[in-house]
Amino acid sequence: MPTRLYLDSARMGLLSERARLAHFDYVRLAATEGCSLYFSQLLEKGFSDWPENIRLSYPALEDWKGVLELDDALKRFVGVTPDCRVLMANRTAQLVKLAVRELCRRCRRVLVSDLTWPSYRRIFEAERSRCHVGVSTVSVRTLVRRGGEGVDDIVGRFVRDYSNMGCDGLFIPAISHEGIRLPVDDICERLNGIRPLKYVVVDGAQALGHVSDQLGLEHCDVFIAGTHKWLQGHLPMGVAFLPNRRSASIARTLGRLVQDGQLDDPLLLLISELKARSLQRYSETVNLASLFTCRAALTDGQFDPDSVRTKFSGRLANARRFASIAYETNWTVLPSLLPTGIVMLQANDRSVRQTNPMALRDYFASHSISVSTYEDGMIRAAMPSTQLTNAQLDAIAWALRWCRVDLPTIPCEIQYGAVRA
């Protein structure tokens, strides 16, 4: 059944229209020019450096003005100062590896939480074990989900463990993969008041293009995210912002990891070479498509902190409508601590809670709705920034109300004509 309502941007964002056109022209260019001089000219100097006849042939690549300009566009988008360094990589995990290497090099004991993305936690654990660095884990997930604990209470948990356990570093998500949003700036400020933080790494995967405050950018050394979710670049590309002067040493760490063969990301290396204007003659072939879709998506969304705030208001309005329907249809809306455009629901029906997550995802897909699904009858819905229509709200209500995985599929024509009771 074709998807009519996509609520899965927290997993992978829909490709924006301008990014789609840029990708189409990029593929056409690859089919006709390959890695010719024209392609090298585009990559290094940008669209405007092409002859007019070539520009007219590939008009959707006009947003590409070179790597340094993409750097500047990403900085404007996030709202950091011009001297902030930006790293780009094919795999976000490589940036995490780089960041936690520096984190563990500088700190004796690192404070983390039980909200960390599992694969990132594994990268961190491997590195801290290698470096013999201590770790303290703040358990806040159950407290937030249970409700009753406010922002001050959760911040207090971080403060207590940081103080009592002698921590001096922090690895924290701005928004967890389950939609729990932490006040990162408030937490960092309180921790610095107890003992100066030596190094801070923020996982901003669910925050970039989604929220514009409490990102930790004023306090962190590395902010890691991707351009393929809320930004709508779709093609996976990791980005790391290094807003702190202490972050400069990460370049040396990068060099050591590359030299030791512990970090293998051809895009990360190529971008570094392009910025330094010193391309290596014998380098690995790199997939560059994500650079062009990222730049086009930034233009398409007119992304800057103000536009992110405006879009966020739309997401919150949709989240309220979605939550209202959930309450009416025997689902529980799970608390997120701070407001987000992610709505986490849990089924009250026991049979749904015992259902395999993939079967639950298939059920919603049969109703033309795309969501993420988890154990214990939980679903994650990422709200669009444009207002949900009455027909879409009706479809959501119908799917939630009749969610019994063992029931026959209700025809899509009926569900979209349904009236919310």
Say whether 193 sits in a helix, a strand or coil.
helix
Residues near 413 by Cβ (< 8 Å), separated by ≥ 6? none
Is 107 domain-assigned?
yes
Q: Are residues 287 and 382 in the same domain?
A: no
Is 40 domain-assigned?
no
State the residue range of the domain holding 198.
67-300
Q: Which of 71, 136, 133 has the alpha carbon at shortest distance from 102?
A: 133
pTM comes to 0.91
Domain boundary at 269, 300, 331, which? 300
Q: Are residues 278 and 328 in the same domain?
A: no
Q: Are residues 308 and 295 in the same domain?
A: no
Q: Are residues 124 and 269 in the same domain?
A: yes
CA distance 417 to 412: 9
Q: Are residues 169 and 112 in the same domain?
A: yes
Q: Give the domain CATH number at 318.
A: 3.90.1150.10
Is 6 domain-assigned?
no
Is 53 domain-assigned?
no
Q: What is the pLDDT of residues 334-388, one digit of tens each?
A: 999 999 999 999 999 999 999 999 999 999 999 999 999 999 999 999 999 999 9
Q: What is the pLDDT of residues 232-249, one digit of tens each?
A: 999 999 999 999 877 667
Is 60 domain-assigned?
no
Q: What is the pLDDT of residues 91-123, one digit of tens each?
A: 999 999 999 999 999 999 999 999 999 999 999
> For position 1, what pLDDT does the model report?
58
Q: Are residues 310 and 230 in the same domain?
A: no
160 against 411, higher pLDDT: 160
Is 181 domain-assigned?
yes
pLDDT band at 272 (very low <50, low <70, confident <90, very high): confident
pLDDT band at 326 (very low <50, low <70, confident <90, very high): very high
Beta bridge pairs of residue 346: 332, 378
Is 124 domain-assigned?
yes
Asked if 178 and 380 touch (Cβ cutoff 8 Å), the reply is yes
Q: Are residues 336 and 226 in the same domain?
A: no
Q: Are residues 296 and 340 in the same domain?
A: no
CA distance 292 to 28: 13
Q: Are residues 144 and 219 in the same domain?
A: yes
Q: What is the pLDDT of residues 53-103, one digit of tens each?
A: 999 999 999 999 999 999 999 999 999 999 999 999 999 999 999 999 999
Is 254 domain-assigned?
yes
Q: Are residues 71 and 183 in the same domain?
A: yes
What is the number of structural domains in the chain?
2
Residue 420 reports pLDDT greater than 50: no
Q: Give the domain CATH number at 92.
A: 3.40.640.10
Output b/e per residue, 352-381; b: 16+ Cβ within 10 A: beebeeeebbebbbbbbbbbbbeeebbbbb
Q: Are residues 276 and 369 in the same domain?
A: no
Q: Are residues 189 and 262 in the same domain?
A: yes
